[in-house]
Structure 1
Amino acid sequence: MLQRLIDQFCRLLSIVMVAALFLMVVMVFGNVVLRYGFNSGITMSEELSRWLFVWMTFLGALVALRQHAHLGTDTLVSRLPVLGKKICLGLSHLLMLYLCWLMLVGSWKQTIINSGTTSAVMEASMGYFYATGVFFSAFAMLFILNDLYRLLTGKLAESELIGITESEDEVPHGEAEADAAIPLTAPATRK
């Protein structure tokens, strides 16, 4: 039930990201056309686009965290026995929780400090800008705690013990060495 709820929340975040990207493209392109074509522009276009970009980045990081799509390497962990993989995954989750806590505290302080400050053009509270860190770190902690709970209760499959997912473009182990032996250029011919 919780997994399905988290997945639906991530789908909602994806829809919000698409809407933010669409608004950014429309505002920036429209502003370029207005400036070069009509020597005018929409004043708040740049600032609002910047805010949308920051929010979109943090929302995308949440979705990537849920899908285990961040960059990583499994060179060491993939060679460990199952218990070693569990220990490494648990330690990495604890470290991520600590980092999210630091980000939550720092972002909260920045949100409070800047809540009375307004942005230059839109005159909106800068607290909304810094709230991206609060939003991200709070939900990231929930996602990580959920994964840690699944690890501790044994609900994770062995394939999920490595914290990164393989991309579809990756070459399986062993084939990369075979490909390295194939020359990249055609052999030179004699005249």
Structure 2
Amino acid sequence: MVRIIDFCFRLLKVAIAALLAGMVVLVFGNVVLRYAFNTGITYSEELSRMFFVWLTFLGAVVAMREHGHLGVDSLLRRLPPTAAKVAVLAGQALMLWATWLMISGSWTQTVINLHVSAPATGISMGVFYGAGLAFGVPALLLILADMIGVITGRIDVTTAEFVKDSEDEVALEHQPEPSLATPSVKH
């Protein structure tokens, strides 16, 4: 099951990269066409906006799974274990509520706008508002999984990292370890 979930999140990362590449091509291509040839791609702005919204929401799902969102957990680290567990569960309950609001609002907007076409592309505006659902449903499941892990004791709140304290911490995690075999060169 874990392998299937990992594969799905790899597919999400590929989709995010494809959306970003599509945005770059559409926007850059439109700029070149406007300045060089005094013409443009009619649907470029609309499609790149849809790509950006989907990229943002899908990226938020990936970041949520990796606990990559920035936050401050200094209070949590100072609390006794039982109080820390209660605080984490309270925070996750609030996140569940906010995610439910996102899902219900996105669902309502998707249904309302399902038969409304975007002006330039003709794509259903339900696709635009469906990005909230694409974020909300997996986010709800991820939050529930974390809550179950905390309740069952599988996740120890005193050692688990639910957020990153700073951007520096996130950047350091993605840097390769220095190799002892490679000597440093001094100039």
TM tier, smaller: 0.7 to 0.9
2:70 touches 2:167 (CA, 8 Å); kept in 1?
Answer: no
Aligned equivalent of 1:50: 49
168 and 130 in structure 1: CA distance in 2 versus 1, 3 angstrom threshold: closer
- The worse-fitting range, judged by mean Cα deviation, of 111-120 and 150-159 is 150-159
| d(CA) in 2 for partners of 1:52, 1:16 | 10
Question: Alpha-carbon deviation of 1:9?
Answer: 2.1
98 and 42 in structure 1: CA distance in 2 versus 1, 3 angstrom threshold: same
136 and 168 in structure 1: CA distance in 2 versus 1, 3 angstrom threshold: closer
Aligned equivalent of 1:32: 31
Aligned-residue identity in percent? 50
| d(CA) in 2 for partners of 1:168, 1:29 | 29
Aligned equivalent of 2:71: 72
Which residue identity lines up with residue 72 of structure 2 in the other structure?
Answer: T
Secondary structure of 2:147 counterpart:
helix
| d(CA) in 1 for partners of 2:123, 2:17 | 23
2:92 touches 2:147 (CA, 8 Å); kept in 1?
Answer: yes
| d(CA) in 2 for partners of 1:48, 1:142 | 29
2:72 touches 2:165 (CA, 8 Å); kept in 1?
Answer: no
Secondary structure of 1:122 counterpart:
coil
| d(CA) in 1 for partners of 2:117, 2:105 | 19
Question: Alpha-carbon deviation of 1:169?
Answer: 2.7
Which residue identity lines up with residue 159 of structure 2 in the other structure?
Answer: S
Q: TM-score, normalised by structure 2?
A: 0.84
Secondary structure of 2:74 counterpart:
coil
Structure 1: give runs of 5+ residues left out of the alignment: 171-191
Q: CA RMSD in A?
A: 1.5
| d(CA) in 2 for partners of 1:155, 1:69 | 20
| d(CA) in 2 for partners of 1:141, 1:99 | 10
Aligned equivalent of 2:175: none
Question: Alpha-carbon deviation of 1:167?
Answer: 4.8
Q: What is the number of residues matched between the two proteins?
A: 168
Which residue identity lines up with residue 103 of structure 1 in the other structure?
Answer: M
Structure 2: give runs of 5+ residues left out of the alignment: 170-187
9 and 167 in structure 1: CA distance in 2 versus 1, 3 angstrom threshold: farther
Secondary structure of 1:76 counterpart:
helix
Aligned equivalent of 1:115: 114
Question: Alpha-carbon deviation of 1:8?
Answer: 2.7
Aligned equivalent of 2:88: 89
Question: Alpha-carbon deviation of 1:155?
Answer: 0.8
What per-residue deviation string (whole Å, max 9, x for no partner) do you get for residues 120-164 of structure 1? 10011100100011111111001111111111111114421x521
- The worse-fitting range, judged by mean Cα deviation, of 118-127 and 85-94 is 85-94
Any residues of structure 2 matched to 1:104-183 within 5 Å, and which?
A: 104-157=103-156, 158-160=158-160, 162-167=161-166, 169=168
Question: Alpha-carbon deviation of 1:76?
Answer: 1.1
Aligned equivalent of 2:181: none
2:30 touches 2:41 (CA, 8 Å); kept in 1?
Answer: yes
Q: TM-score, normalised by structure 1?
A: 0.82
Which residue identity lines up with residue 18 of structure 2 in the other structure?
Answer: A
Aligned equivalent of 2:173: none
